[in-house]
Amino acid sequence: MLSTSDGADIKYRMFTGTKKSVVNIDLIVMKVSIWYLDTSMHVISIFLNIVLLLCSLLPHW
């Protein structure tokens, strides 16, 4: 099993000798994807809350 540190180490080795801009772009992509996941989770939870609220307001069959 590869631990997370191993994966990071492999990625670092891959980027060694390449331009710093590549690493910067990679970090930006990582930040954006984390932000996107965070935002989508919030949207999904809000949507689920609205659905649950509507279901509770509707008369039960």
3-state secondary structure the chain: CCCHHHHHHHHHHHHCCCCHHHHHHHHHHHHHHHHHHHHHHHHHHHHHHHHHHHHHHCCCC
Give the residue numbers spanning the domain of 44.
4-57
CA–CA distances in Å: residue 8 to residues 26, 44, 49, 50, 59: 12, 30, 37, 39, 53
Domains: count for the chain: 1
More confident residue, 12 or 57: 57
> What is the reported pLDDT for 49?
94
> What is the reported pLDDT for 58?
78
More confident residue, 13 or 46: 46
5-45 pLDDT, tens digit per residue, is 555 665 665 555 555 666 677 888 888 888 888 898 899 99
What pTM did the predictor assign?
A: 0.40
More confident residue, 47 or 60: 47
